[in-house]
Chain A
Amino acid sequence: MALISFWKKSERDTALSRILGHVEQTPHRLFARIVVNGEATAISYSALAASAAPYAAACQAQGIEKGDRVIILFDHGPELIFSFFGAMFAGAVPTMMSPPSPRQEPGHFWAGQRQVIQRIGAKAIMTTDRLRAALESVMPHHGTRIITPRELPTTDQIPDVDFAAHDIAFLQHSSGTTGTKKGVMISHEALLHQVDAYAKALEITQNDRIVSWLPLYHDMGFIACFLLPVIKGVPVTLLSPFEWVIRPTMLFDYFDKTKATLTWQPNFGFQHLVNCTKSDDRWDLSSMRAFVNCSERCRPETIDGFVSAFVDMGVSKGSMLTCYAMAETVFAATQSEPGIAPRVETIDTAALVDEGIARPTLATHSPTMQVQSCGKKIDGLNVLIMDEEGNRLPDRRIGEVCISGPSLSRGYDQQPEKTEAVFREGWYHSGDLGYLANGELFVTGRKDDLLILNGRNHYAHDLEFCLRDVPGIIPGRLMAMSDYRPEIGSDALIILAETRETNPAGVKLIKKSVRDAIVDETGLVPNEVHLLEPMWLLKSTSGKIARAANRQKFSELQEASI
């Protein structure tokens, strides 16, 4: 077949050579089932190649060359997948971006997109006609070519582009407000190392079946539930994140229907399923051998609650796995062992805070905290804990989690300063705080002001910037923070801001303006907005908001009010 002639020419191992290997050897094998509005579209490997080919041809017709950056901006559906692989087949470096959220103000969304387009020098955007119209009205004369499904050429020929393992395969954009997104550069060899090592850690075979609701613009959905399956030949059912959030138990419907074996989701997803199940709901979940909890702190009580809610339907404690992952290492750095419930340690809170030591304790008279193991490092990677000076710390000492090895990214596209700040001497400095014990990683917190909300990362200073023009707030005297809420299984977003307004109607208006400003720029909804009297917030001697002290003061205020 001319369709797949190119891959034979290249003996080098790349994501594309592996995928096109499946196209040639098992063309009718199911690659993915994509569910939109309850309708499932099954896509075989040959259909994937044939439907991606017109996008590749469109790229070439538009003069897109090897290495050019191409943005993929589609809602959940088959075109999202076809356009991504089409761009890759043409030699471009695609990056999936989140389409605008219905609650986000379009002007803010497109302003952020413009920054990303300009920074990475995107040569084209593949998108829908609806978003094309929005793009052209909000960003006239932006100069980037737009490719939509309506104007694709008719062809099933995949262009002959020569790839090497060290070529950049795609950019994985971090979350956060669009202007501050970072494009993590991932090479074919880093991707394949990750896919092979991670599949080994989870003992994945072609007999597995994956079901996922995760968005593909997020590294967990993109790597674990999209690229890993397509490269390894494991069929995956992809549900819409938009539909899942309102009807989360549709995930169980598809576990049952497809006799699924694997899924991934952040901690809040497990709690959301518990919260949204009716007492008479029943599914057969016994085929599931791994529910992987990742992308925000894994909470022992959430895992226990999930098992006890669904044990009668076949969920076992040994199927609840944990993982520590980030886009900068393609995905997983550590993974707990399949079939075995990951360990939970009870440690002395005072020793953690005062001495930086994770000391296991059975004492009941002093405050303790439970920390969930994220498992051991995957093959080929090194994970260690470093102090501020870059010295390696022994077991049980708290420090920054650092990772090295063949899955490491090259850094952030067009952002050398941000790259140098965290990729140093072959190590990625994650900003996460934690400790190692007998080779297992335990994560305890963050070094900086990163907030992890429902599995997505947002910097507090970034959210505070959204509030710069809110009338009634004293300029510079506000703080975004998060606080764990077991009822949602994730951290809640809390905004503290000072005001001189005392009239109840005025206070209500300011609170609404705060909420609107955050929603408009980010699509995030603050869980709580607290307006405080002038000079309530503490500042450091250098005039910066003292985050830890204010968090403590707020916590004491909350306790006092209870």
Chain B
Amino acid sequence: MTHSDVFSRVSQIISDELGCEISEVHLKASADDIDGWDSLAHARLILKIEDVFNLRLPGDRLFELDNVGDLVALVSEAHV
């Protein structure tokens, strides 16, 4: 799966889970840019991503994500 495929699927999950427009989800978008992206929503997103990609993301790295690009990079890395 290419980086672009991962981004496309991750942004769809973010849009579905948070109810935002998919156009709002870009690589530089952070949790502060999207309504309702708090720590509880973040946990639900991670679970959904793990389910869709059938992987487990490393817990300690989940606190270090600054934006969607970081999340996509982490998923790409774990998906290899």
- A278 neighbours in B (Cβ, 8 Å): 47, 51
The answer on a CB contact under 8 Å between B38 and A525 is yes
CB of B77 within 8 A of chain A? no
The answer on a CB contact under 8 Å between B43 and A276 is yes
- A103 neighbours in B (Cβ, 8 Å): 31-32
The answer on a CB contact under 8 Å between B33 and A529 is no
Closest residue on chain B to residue A243 by CB atoms: B59
- A512 neighbours in B (Cβ, 8 Å): 32-33
The answer on a CB contact under 8 Å between A246 and B44 is no
Q: Mark A255-273, 1 if CB is under 8 A from B, else 0.
A: 0000000000000100010
Residue with the greatest number of chain A CB neighbours at <10 A, chosen from B39, B44, B46: B39
What is the CB-to-nearest-CB distance from A406 to chain B, in angstroms, rounded to a whole number?
37
Known: A275-B44, A276-B47, A278-B51. A246 touches B39 (CB 8 A): yes
Closest residue on chain B to residue A526 by CB atoms: B35
Q: Mark B28-71, 1 if CB is under 8 A from A, else 0.
A: 00011101111110111011000100000001101100000000
What is the CB-to-nearest-CB distance from B21 to chain A, in angstroms, rounded to a whole number?
11
Known: A276-B43, A278-B51. A525 touches B63 (CB 8 A): no
The answer on a CB contact under 8 Å between A247 and B43 is yes
Q: Which of B31, B32, B43 contacts A245 (CB 8 A)?
A: B43
The answer on a CB contact under 8 Å between B36 and A247 is no
What is the CB-to-nearest-CB distance from B19 to chain A, in angstroms, rounded to a whole number?
10
The answer on a CB contact under 8 Å between A246 and B51 is no
CB of A301 within 8 A of chain B? no
CB of A527 within 8 A of chain B? yes
A454 to B39, CA, bound (A): 11
The answer on a CB contact under 8 Å between A525 and B37 is yes
A467 to B67, CA, bound (A): 24
A492 to B19, CA, bound (A): 15
The answer on a CB contact under 8 Å between B40 and A527 is no
CB of A411 within 8 A of chain B? no
The answer on a CB contact under 8 Å between B31 and A525 is yes
The answer on a CB contact under 8 Å between B35 and A528 is yes
The answer on a CB contact under 8 Å between A246 and B63 is yes
Q: Which of A245, A276, A524, A528 contacts B36 (CB 8 A)?
A: A528
Q: Which of B33, B36, B37, B43 contacts A272 (CB 8 A)?
A: B43
Closest residue on chain B to residue A279 by CB atoms: B51
CB of A542 within 8 A of chain B? no
The answer on a CB contact under 8 Å between B35 and A245 is no
Q: Mark A404-434, 1 if CB is under 8 A from B, else 0.
A: 0000000000000000000000000000000
CB of A515 within 8 A of chain B? yes
- B33 neighbours in A (Cβ, 8 Å): 512
Known: A276-B44, A278-B51. A527 touches B59 (CB 8 A): no
- B39 neighbours in A (Cβ, 8 Å): 245-246, 525
Closest residue on chain A to residue B50 by CB atoms: A278
- B47 neighbours in A (Cβ, 8 Å): 275-276, 278
A512 to B35, CA, bound (A): 9
CB of A102 within 8 A of chain B? yes
Known: A245-B43, A248-B43. A525 touches B36 (CB 8 A): yes
Residue with the greatest number of chain A CB neighbours at <10 A, chosen from B37, B43, B62, B63: B43
A37 to B61, CA, bound (A): 11
Q: Which of A246, A275, A524, A525 contacts B62 (CB 8 A)?
A: A246
- A272 neighbours in B (Cβ, 8 Å): 40, 43
A247 to B32, CA, bound (A): 21
A511 to B39, CA, bound (A): 19
A-binding residues in B (CB < 8 A): 31-33, 35-40, 42-44, 46-47, 51, 59-60, 62-63
> Told that A454-B40, A526-B35 touch, could you supply 15 new A-B pairs with CB distance under 8 A?
A102-B63, A103-B31, A243-B59, A246-B42, A246-B46, A247-B43, A247-B59, A275-B47, A276-B43, A276-B44, A511-B35, A512-B33, A519-B32, A524-B38, A528-B35
